[in-house]
């Protein structure tokens, strides 16, 4: 078969949705990036630098990320950045023989593996949303979001340790770390076969700037830096990320709001008899049988509320208070 035909057979097209009404489908932050910080970023942009191939990562940003991580045992050689966490995931897939993931999980793991034409293995999570017992080898790379997407639940530390002890390389995807507050970064002290990936897209309201980072052993970071594109994150995006980290207090208050709203939504939905997972991310996940799910989706759609449909249920991003109220009112009336 012709090469382009082969790609079209295995890879999914990226589709963008028209955005109108209440958009709660992509786990974005309900708050815009603060206006005063946008001004701060533009004050710092040096026009001379725009014409250069700017360092990626820039050392100042790495220093800020290391400060945010606040782990004395980590140094510059343990961190790198990507054009979103997605690029880090994408590039890492090229560094191993086989990609492994446990659905229901972040849908891009499969999308990327198929687009790249790499070997992959998907094994569903066990009863109770636990990591399945699977035999893995040195050439395998496992992708595990923690908190998980779409369920939002957290894998216990012992499960992560057990997975690491199998010897495969493990990428812990902590895209939603800030909404949970607990990290496995300290496991890097014990395990060389671990990388922790994070993003500025969620807690820091910067999805459009495309910036993520990865923390791992020197060995992994060295290899990653050889495979990724040389100037992968733009000069301006790096300033955005640094400015965000210099104003943590603004984001911490917003995170507290999202967490409060998430808990309120979980509680209200449970009161109405819905089966809701224990999400610790910035979304809630409702497990629904097919027929009931279709009814819920139709009701939301009719009221111009866009959420994400999964085989196992629906995922709803925590939005502004009035958006969450609307969702609760609609689903509460079912
Ligand atoms: C688990 C997980 N990882 C990574 C990403 C992508 O992050 P980024 O915007 O930094 O590419 C997402 C986005 O939804 C996600 O849910």
What are the residue boundaries of the structural domains of the chain, listed by start?
3-30+249-332, 35-246
Which of left, alpha, beta for 42 (phi over 0: left; psi -120 to 50: alpha)?
alpha
The ligand 1 atom at the shortest distance from the C-alpha of residue 212 is 10
Report the DSSP pairing between strands 119-122 and 169-173: unpaired
Per-residue model confidence as pLDDT tens digits over 115-125: 999 999 999 99
Model confidence pLDDT, tens digit, residues 184-231:
999 999 999 999 999 999 999 999 999 999 999 999 999 999 999 999
Query: Could you tell me if the CB of 151 is within 6 A of ligand 1?
Result: no
Q: Is the CB of 174 under 6 A from ligand 1?
A: no
Ramachandran assignment for 84, one of left (phi > 0), alpha (psi -120 to 50 degrees), beta (any other) = left
**Which mutation among 108, 172, 241, 285 tests ligand 1's pocket best, with the greatest number of atoms within 8 A of CB?**
108
Which residue's structure tokens are 């301006």?
236
Q: Is the CB of 281 under 6 A from ligand 1?
A: no
Q: Mean pLDDT over residues 26-42, rounded? A: 98
| Ligand 1 contact, 84 CB (< 6 A) | yes
CA of residue 273 to ligand 1 center, whole Å: 30
Ligand 1 pocket check for 209: Cβ under 6 Å: no
pLDDT in tens, 310-330: 999 999 999 999 999 999 999
State how far the Cα of 85 lies from the Cα of 224, in Å rounded to an integer.
Answer: 13
- State the chain's mean pLDDT as an integer: 97
With 90 as the cut, is the pLDDT of residue 15 above it?
A: no
Q: With 80 as the cut, is the pLDDT of residue 304 above it?
A: yes
The mean pLDDT of 293-318, rounded to a whole number, is 97
Pocket lining: 83 vs ligand 1, CB cutoff 6 Å: no
- Peptide bond preceding 57 in cis form (omega within 30 of 0): yes
User: Residue 145 corresponds to which tokens in the numbers above?
Assistant: 């979001």
Mutate-to-test residue for ligand 1 from 29, 80, 86, 315, highest number of ligand atoms within 8 A of CB: 86
Over range 48-61, report the average pLDDT: 97
Above 80 in pLDDT, residue 17? no
Structure confidence at residue 18 (pLDDT) = 79
Average pLDDT over residues 122-144: 97
Q: Do domains 3-30+249-332 and 35-246 have the same CATH topology?
A: no
Task: Average the pLDDT over 60-66 and give the result.
Answer: 98
Measured from the Cβ of residue 283, the count of other Cβ atoms closer than 10 Å reads: 28
Fold annotation for 3-30+249-332: 3.90.1150
CA–centroid distance, 294 to ligand 1, in Å, is 26
Probe residue for ligand 1, chosen from 199, 212, 240, 282 as the CB with the greatest number of ligand atoms within 8 Å:
199
Q: Residue 66 contacts by C-beta under 8 Å, 6 or more apart in sequence?
A: 74, 75, 76, 79
Q: Does the CB atom of residue 201 touch ligand 1 within 6 A?
A: yes
Burial class (CB in 10 A: 0-12, 13-18, 19+), 217: middle
Convert the pLDDT of each residue in 255-292 to its tens digit. 999 999 999 999 999 999 999 999 999 999 999 999 99
Q: How many helices (H) and strands (E) would you count in the chain?
A: 12, 13
**173 pocket-lining for ligand 1 (C-beta < 6 Å):** yes
Q: Evaluate if pTM is beyond 0.85.
A: yes
Tell me, which fold does domain 35-246 have in CATH? 3.40.640
């Amino acid at each position: 078969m012709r090469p382009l035909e082969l790609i079209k057979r295995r890879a999914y097209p990226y589709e963008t949705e028209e955005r109108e009404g209440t958009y709660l489908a992509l786990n974005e932050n309900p708050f815009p990036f603060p206006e005063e910080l946008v001004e701060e970023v533009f004050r710092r942009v040096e026009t001379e630098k725009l014409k250069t191939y700017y360092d990626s990562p820039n050392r100042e940003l790495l220093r800020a990320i290391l400060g945010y991580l606040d782990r004395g045992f980590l140094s510059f050689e343990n961190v790198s950045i990507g054009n979103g966490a997605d690029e880090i995931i994408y590039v890492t897939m090229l560094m191993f023989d086989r990609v492994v993931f446990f659905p229901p999980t972040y849908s891009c793991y499969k999308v990327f593996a198929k687009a790249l034409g790499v070997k992959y293995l998907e094994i569903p999570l066990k009863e109770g949303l636990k990591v399945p017992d699977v035999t893995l080898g040195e050439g395998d790379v496992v992708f595990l979001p923690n908190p998980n997407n779409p369920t939002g639940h957290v894998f216990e530390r012992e499960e992560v340790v057990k997975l690491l002890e199998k010897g495969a390389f493990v990428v812990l995807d902590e895209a939603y770390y800030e909404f949970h507050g607990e990290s496995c970064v300290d496991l890097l002290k014990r395990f060389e076969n671990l990388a922790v990936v994070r993003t500025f897209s969620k807690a820091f309201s910067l999805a459009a700037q495309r910036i993520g980072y990865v923390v791992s052993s020197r060995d992994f970071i060295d290899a990653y830096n050889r495979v990724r594109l040389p100037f992968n994150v733009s000069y301006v995006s790096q300033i955005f990320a640094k400015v965000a980290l210099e104003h943590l207090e603004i984001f911490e208050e917003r995170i507290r709001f999202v967490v409060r709203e998430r808990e309120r939504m979980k509680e209200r939905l449970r009161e109405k008899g819905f089966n809701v997972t224990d999400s610790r991310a910035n979304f809630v996940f409702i497990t629904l049988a097919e027929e009931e799910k279709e009814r819920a989706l139709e009701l939301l759609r009719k009221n111009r509320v866009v959420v994400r449909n999964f085989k196992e249920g629906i995922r709803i991003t925590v939005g502004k208070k009035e958006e969450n109220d609307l969702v609760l009112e609609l689903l509460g009336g079912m």
